[in-house]
Amino acid sequence: MTLNVNFIVQVSVWICIITQSDLTRSAYKRWHRISFSLKFSSTKKEMAVEKHEKLQKGIAEFYDESSTIWENIWGDHMHHGFYDPDSTVSVSDHRAAQIRMIEESLRFASLSEERTKWPKRIVDVGCGIGGSSRYLAEKFGATSVGITLSPVQAQRANALAAAQGLAHKVSFQVADALHQPFPDGQFDLVWSMESGEHMPDKTKFVGELARVAAPGGAIIIVTWCHRDLGPDEQSLKPWEQDLLKKICDAFYLPAWCSAADYIKLLKSLSLQDIKSADWSPFVAPFWPAVIRSALTWNGLTSLLRSGVKTIKGALAMPLMIKGYKKGLIKFVIITCRKPE
């Protein structure tokens, strides 16, 4: 039977009253400190859980609202495109650039071109409506499973897979990336395209990516980061922190980290072939293109129908551009491999 701490403290008080001994009074004080510490720890844990659940709810609702408008205008790949720097792009260029982003990511990760070494099992962490999952499954002849916090996204992703004759190869479900519903070592390719920025616990996030990766499996993380700190810096500048906070509030993001932070976490897990690159110049045309699309008649009417959260996100897009131009926001690729 588990004894209640409050009950033990109360018993200690009565013993103290009866005996008036210094030893008993000392024990009571110790129990009081223990009781307070346990209560404080429990309260902190409850607050952390509540904060995490609130963030998850906000993310899910944001993508529940915005996924349809995104698909209608930009297609089923809910991520940046890879462009020639300083180029001006149309929507059709953007869709080709999204595929290029996938291909460039695979190339950067040095995935073998030998068919016998292609990944057979893939997980898409933060899958959106499944564009990457379906593309990768078709490219490699693999099976792929995608996870998202948004029920709307999961339902739409499964519908698109069925419509494209891929339901037997690709599936999607609602799940938490920090607590993935998969056994250890299941996937040859662990893919995270622009989902890491939503993770409140980067240590847990990276740990889960490594856990579900098979021995020898590749891990690809493409994400927004803030700039690396200089040798004499302990934190970002106040104006930088303020700008990121405004973006976080609009897009339901927790605290940001740098590419250096990610690399440190990957090294702590003894992962191999770790490398990263700043791809900011190659995605710079993206946000101006999104803004231009939002200012069309179709974009404006779709935006007004989508909901408050989507409108709030759209209004924050100039902040992303400012962050890019100021060198604060970095679009980073980080890849590694799990030891054999």
Residue spans per domain, the chain: 54-338
Tokens 């205008």 belong to 73
CA 336 to CA 218: how far, in whole Å?
6
C-alpha distances in Å from residue 283, one per residue of 67, 89, 161, 333: 20, 11, 27, 12
Whether the predicted pLDDT of 224 surpasses 50:
yes
* pLDDT tens for each residue of 125-175: 999 999 999 999 999 999 999 999 999 999 999 999 999 999 999 999 999
Query: Six-digit token pair at 105?
Result: 């990511």
229: pLDDT confidence band, cut at 50, 70 and 90?
very high
CATH of domain 54-338: 3.40.50.150
For residue 14, pLDDT over 80 is answered with no
> Residue 216 is which amino acid?
G
User: CA 208, CA 70: separation in Å to the nearest integer?
Assistant: 28
> Where are the alpha helices (H) located in 75-172, listed in sequence order?
91-108, 131-140, 151-163
Q: pLDDT per residue over 254-278, tens digit each?
A: 989 999 999 999 999 999 999 999 9
Q: State pLDDT tens for residues 103-127.
A: 999 999 999 888 889 999 999 999 9
pLDDT digits (tens, 9 = 90+) for 193-204: 999 999 999 999
Q: What does the alpha-carbon distance between residue 256 and residue 85 come to, in Å, rounded to a whole number?
A: 25
Q: What is the pLDDT of residues 271-317, one digit of tens each?
A: 999 999 999 999 888 777 776 666 665 655 655 566 666 667 667 78
Q: Which helix (DSSP H) or strand (DSSP E) does residue 272 occupy?
A: strand 272-278
Rounded Cα distance between 239 and 131, Å, is 36
Task: Please compute, for residue 109, the number of CA atoms within 13 A of its CA located in the half-sphere on the CB side.
Answer: 30
